[in-house]
A and B are shown apart, each in its own frame.
Chain A
């Protein structure tokens, strides 16, 4: 079935650094969603992308819908401690069920 592969699985960065993570699939997606999950909380939707090539920002976050419709990227600029968490990409499969990647865990070193 359709799967979403996220990389890297985890990242250790210094506060203030920029972060890049991506999500790829072997099949086409028509919508890409990026969520963040804090410890003990449910995921929160950060950015939704609807068109190939679309670049969308939400504060320090920027996400892009890949031209091939098989990938998406999330960038975080000037990271701060509250950026720590797990970032998931997601999208509706051909059965209209939302499937999620396994997440990128972001750690920020003091």
Chain B
């Protein structure tokens, strides 16, 4: 089955840029979606189709996907961005949703 690999943690100072990666075999040929999950809250879709941002998500959050790596970039990081972030693809060969293991973003 298809596997997505994320770093367990990323730390960044306020105002700096955080980059969260999601690696998979030729993931650039798939559409990657990203979710933000804060403790006790419902997960929120923050990026779809690699780089399409829902209207309610701030412009400082962006996405890209090429080759074997998809990336979620958060510019001007704020304390409120602290959360777990998950990438996700649809594996059409097996009709399965695949999540990455998640990355905990810590704002220093």
Q: Do A and B bind each other?
A: no
Report B's interface with A, CB cutoff 8 A: none
Report A's interface with B, CB cutoff 8 A: none
